[in-house]
């Protein structure tokens, strides 16, 4: 949980802004994290388990 708190409280904002961070450092997400179809499946199933509507773009 350290990285989100570090990013939220950092001043000035660390570069690159909007990227992926791990252990308070810029990092590259895993190959699984980059699969859009898998992300959509996880999102859809999570929303169903929580009983919430899916957000649409």
Question: Of residues 2 and 28, which shows the higher confidence score?
Answer: 28
Question: Of residues 42 and 7, which shows the higher confidence score?
Answer: 42
Q: What are the sequence ranges of the domains in the chain?
A: 2-50
Determine the 3-state secondary structure of 26 from DSSP: strand
For residue range 18-37, what is the model confidence (pLDDT) as tens digits? 777 778 778 888 999 899 99
CB atoms under 10 Å from CB of 56, counted, come to 4
Residue whose pair of structure tokens reads 């859809």 in the numeric block:
44
Nearest to 55 by CA among 45, 38, 44: 44
- What's the chain's average pLDDT? 83
Q: What is the pTM of this model?
A: 0.56
């Amino acid at each position: 949980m350290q990285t989100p708190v570090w990013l939220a409280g950092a001043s000035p904002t660390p570069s690159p802004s909007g990227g992926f961070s791990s252990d308070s450092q810029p990092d590259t997400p895993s190959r699984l994290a980059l699969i859009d179809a898998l992300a959509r499946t996880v999102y859809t199933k999570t929303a169903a388990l929580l009983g919430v509507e899916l957000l649409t773009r």
